Structure 1
Amino acid sequence: MGRLSIRPGRGNGRGSGRQRLAEPAKDRGPRTGVGQRLAHGFRSSRCAHHCRKVWAGNAGTSRERVHRLYAEDPSAAWQPQAGRLGRFEVPGVGASFGLLDNGIRLDAGVESGSVIGTQYDAMLAKVIAVAPRRGDAARALAGVLRTARVHGVTTNRDLLVASLTHADFLAGRADTAFYQDNPPDQLLLGQGLDPALGAVIAAVADAAYGRVGQARSGFRNVPVGYRTRTYPVGERSIDVHYRFGRDGLELGALPAGIDGLLLIDDGPDAVRLDVDGVQRTWRVARFGEGDDARVAIDGPDGSITLRRVPRFVDPSSQAPAGALTAPMPGSVVRVAVSMGDRVGAGDPLMWLEAMKMEQPVRAPAAGIVTQLRVAVGDQVEQGVTLVVLADLHDASPAAD
């Protein structure tokens, strides 16, 4: 069988950084069929210029597609992620660390319950699809990744799906400039489950979870007021106002772009809805406790994990105004400021290190350092307050 090879580029621009296909190597030994074998990897490298490796080849009759699943956030400068994998399930696996002629192979170094630390590389697994044709293998791999259940840490899974289904990739035109031409934020638009719909599913499932062992209240002459559940998404929060009436689920407002939504069946672990005349089922899982409690939703159109905001929040657990928190778990390797220092917008305040990668923490605006809660050598979790800045016109630094 012929083997297709490529020569990886080392540059950081659109010219020298591109990879060109080499001619297929000469066959060594008898041939049992016609075709070529192709390995493909999307990998966010840790080089200074964040070179993206995209291996691609021309058409053939036999194809193997390999994708590396990483605990990293492509939308946040490829920051490595750490935490406990609440669930790690990849469907339709035909082999692990072995050969197969057709189907899905999984080479994983983790399982459900594994803890992803900050001391080692962020790769979780290689997912491999083998099919007679390149496009078939790419689509099979995209389908498997889309329906995989990976809960607990942010991964590059959605980016892999978007890359696999991109026209340039399917046509074999992808090279090391792929993510320069197609930034992750653009590729991820429209990928995965819509957060607003996901919040509705989460609210319905959480309501069912809260009444386990109890019967749902029946029809009342006096309408019951809407209940509210809140789920933060990025810098915003989604409030779901809902109640159960004589006609089933009633929402204060439908998610944008949806004209009709009916509840078909609900439970703590699954919700079935009719959305604009199409019925779908989403599976629901929960992990974490307290402020870190989360709900993960998996369905045919992708997945989303939402943090559950408790109904009553302890004021002492809230970060103070002007607090800058750790963008990732890691070790404080350098602190550039002291109490009372004046800083400008964009000034680096400190650096965190995790998984061989340093991440600066910068001032979002000019201010004065009023609290400095960490020192070099400290290990911090994601979301922990590192430093507090006050406006230049505010009071003097607070006491430790």
Structure 2
Amino acid sequence: MFNKILIANRGEIACRVAATARRLGVQTVAVYSDADAQAKHVAACDEAVHIGASAPKDSYLRWQAIIDAAKSTGAQAIHPGYGFLSENEDFARACADAGLVFIGPPASAIQAMGLKAESKRLMAKAGVPLVPGYQGEDQDPALLQREADAIGYPVLIKASAGGGGKGMRLVEKSEDFAAALQSCKREAINSFGNDAVLVEKYVQRPRHIEIQVFGDSQGDVVYLFERDCSTQRRHQKVLEEAPAPGMTPEMRARMGEAAVAAAKAVDYVGAGTVEFIVEQPGGYDAPEQMKFYFMEMNTRLQVEHPVTEAITGLDLVEWQLRVASGQPLPLRQGELKIHGHAIEARICAENPDNQFLPATGQLAVYRKPAHTAFARGDVRFDDGVREGDAISPFYDSMVAKLIVHGDTREQALARLDEALAQTHIVGLATNLQFLRYAVRSQAFSSARLDTALIERERAALFNQEPVGLALAAAAAVADQLQREQAAPGANPWNQRDGWRSLTPLTRRFDFGFAGEPAQALLTYGQRGGAHQLQVGGQSAALAFVARTEGGIDLQWGEHRVHTSVYRLGGQAHVFTARGATRITLVDPLAHAGEAASEGGRLTAPMPGKVVSFAVQAGDKVGRGQPLAVMEAMKMEHTIAAPRDGVVAELLYAPGDQVAEGAELLTLQDA
């Protein structure tokens, strides 16, 4: 086993590797950028080395700086985590040339599986089933169009060097192919430095099921069962679970054996994932008719590996360290067993109701559910941030991973929903509430899974309001009263309970809720008695039951509710078991006479880089027409016209970095 390793990554995976290494008595070295100088992963390691500026190209992608850091600190090996350099064969070779162990597969395996087209040709020779498509080297757009037409629509255009859902476009008709190809190639060259693509048939009602494989330097390879990752947005995973619902033992064995064959075809060593697209020709209720096709192999540890750890009771990072140090696999295939069911939810800084636009900001409130250490409890929380940390525009939008385990899928679902309800984040937009909608949706809860689940369930997943004005207002009013009564004096004239000797007191609270003005009227009761709260046509008694460290227990009408209220700026963020919402606290005198109007301004929704403009000054545009493309947090975002008009001026040029809220162009009435 190694004495010291360097972790060439950041965030939760760096913290995770550091925790396992510490348990094994292995010292760790962190690397960090300017943006991560105070990051959690830096504190989690024994040593840390600064490697550059905030942008990945100036820090975490500078493999020579990382190798220099490893050598200067006496590290024997480098763990690449996932993302960044984890699947870079040049980096793997450079580590070997420098006398360092790359904790991952050999560079030859990374190279063989790194290009989708080449890997599919290799898998065909190994007898692994493939989706019909074109993987040729000729990248002439006209040829690609003809191949797509011959395959039949819908088709997927995929960056050959891609991964993580980037460089992928679904095309449903021939006339849309050329524009989608151009966009896909642009994203591919920006993300991977290679704009080669492949075209393949888009499988109807597809499931994304992947097999975890592990190989050692003695030539042994095992599969650690499957994960279902079908619930996706923008081709990126949202919920992952193991084992896959509806998986028959026969199909599990066939897929596992195919995955092992794929790994052995490239002499694979270490942790890897063989990903399959699974067709359901007989519908959701006929799992015995499912067919699987090879998609790609990820030559690294996956973000969703904790669900495999949960059902096997194993530490895959420990396996990585042992195998990389030359030890054989700890277990044989026949010794691996499945125990219960596990689900992982990716908590991301993003706005699901605005096309999952990534968000940046500070974690002003960051409260996690009660959880225990890995493999010793039913709830696990993997993260690389702390309360007060900032989510920057430089890296991925994922904040944390919430993993639950149960004896059955139904038990795991219940635990996941409860743990999500206990997770409170304030300071930036997140997908927490969306995850609860998804977990409780009819399709997911009944395991009617495919990669279009989110789109099919749009009516139940987006623009929902789980708490409601009355309950949110009751919580905010109760919180305000508790604050006012926190330290009452003994003198009755100092009491703040609204008591009057002759007449009741009615107090008005003004709010903004779901973009609309709202009002609550509180009539104070007799001293020590219940108050009456009227909100939006509803009127009920409001009484305090208790104030606890975690929030306020209040009686609203006939219902007793536990709420947590966090004040940030002019907003109150309300969390209940039912869900979370926020209301704006309005001071009617604060902005008297002001009128907000953005006119023809079109602004950047977040910090990023201008990729291109689709219009010029003087062009007439219609509502919804694409005007510009921005790149931020590893994604492209299209800025569309909010109304008909004429482009007055472009205020930036392609390649310019812009701040959140920066005006990109101006639009005038036609």
Q: Which residue is 1:3 aligned to? A: none
Q: Which residue is 1:300 aligned to? A: 577
| Cα gap change, 1:351 to 1:221, in 2 (>3 Å) | farther
1:330 to 596, 608, 617: 608
CA RMSD of superposed structures (Å): 3.9
Aligned with 1:321: secondary structure? coil
Q: Which residue is 1:19 aligned to? A: 207
Higher relative contact order (CA 8 A, sep 6+): 1
- Sequence identity (%): 24
Contact 1:340 1:369 in 2 (8 A): yes
Q: Which moved more, 1:210-219 or 1:80-89?
A: 210-219
Q: Which residue is 1:262 aligned to? A: 542
Q: How many matched pairs?
A: 361
1:192 aligns with 2:472: no
Aligned pairs for 1:140-289 (under 5 A) are 140-183=415-458, 185-188=459-462, 192-206=466-480, 208-209=482-483, 215-216=495-496, 217-219=498-500, 221=502, 224=505, 226-233=507-514, 236-246=515-525, 249-254=531-536, 260-264=540-544, 270-287=551-568, 289=569
1:119 Cα deviation from its structure 2 partner:
1.4
1:286 Cα deviation from its structure 2 partner:
1.9
Q: Which residue is 1:99 aligned to? A: 375
Code of the residue aligned with 2:572 in structure 1: it is: V
Contact 1:262 1:274 in 2 (8 A): yes
Code of the residue aligned with 1:391 in structure 2: it is: D
| Cα gap change, 1:58 to 1:323, in 2 (>3 Å) | same
Q: Which residue is 2:284 aligned to? A: none
Q: Deviations over 1:247-304 (max 9, x none)?
A: 654445346xx563423268898444323411112111123x4xxx432111221212
1:131 to 383, 399, 406: 406
Aligned with 2:410: secondary structure? helix
Judging by fraction of residues, say which structure has more helix. 2
| Cα gap change, 1:313 to 1:44, in 2 (>3 Å) | farther
Contact 1:40 1:66 in 2 (8 A): no
1:347 aligns with 2:347: no
Code of the residue aligned with 1:245 in structure 2: it is: Y
**What CA distance in whole angstroms lies between the structure 2 residues aligned with 1:308 and 1:37?**
51
Contact 2:231 2:454 in 1 (8 A): no
| Cα gap change, 1:244 to 1:41, in 2 (>3 Å) | farther
Aligned pairs for 1:35-74 (under 5 A) are 39=227, 41=229, 44-47=232-235, 56-58=244-246, 62-74=340-352
| Cα gap change, 1:283 to 1:363, in 2 (>3 Å) | same
Q: Which moved more, 1:341-350 or 1:157-166?
A: 341-350
Contact 1:52 1:177 in 2 (8 A): no
Aligned with 1:295: secondary structure? strand
**What CA distance in whole angstroms lies between the structure 2 residues aligned with 1:239 and 1:386?**
34
| Cα gap change, 1:276 to 1:238, in 2 (>3 Å) | same
Code of the residue aligned with 1:57 in structure 2: it is: P
| Cα gap change, 1:221 to 1:386, in 2 (>3 Å) | farther
Aligned with 1:75: secondary structure? helix
Code of the residue aligned with 1:227 in structure 2: it is: R
Structure 1 residues not aligned, in runs of 5+: 1-6, 26-35, 393-400
Q: Which residue is 1:357 aligned to? A: 635
| Cα gap change, 1:191 to 1:225, in 2 (>3 Å) | closer
1:165 Cα deviation from its structure 2 partner:
2.5
Aligned with 1:172: secondary structure? coil
Q: TM-score, length-normalised on structure 1?
A: 0.74
Q: Deviations over 1:280-333 (max 9, x none)?
A: 12111123x4xxx43211122121233444441287894443444443343444
**What CA distance in whole angstroms lies between the structure 1 residues aligned with 2:505 and 2:397?**
48
**What CA distance in whole angstroms lies between the structure 1 residues aligned with 2:535 and 2:517?**
11
**What CA distance in whole angstroms lies between the structure 1 residues aligned with 2:581 and 2:624?**
31
1:87 to 354, 357, 365: 365
1:196 Cα deviation from its structure 2 partner:
4.5
Contact 2:624 2:642 in 1 (8 A): yes
Code of the residue aligned with 1:202 in structure 2: it is: A
**What CA distance in whole angstroms lies between the structure 1 residues aligned with 2:240 and 2:453?**
7
| Cα gap change, 1:335 to 1:200, in 2 (>3 Å) | farther
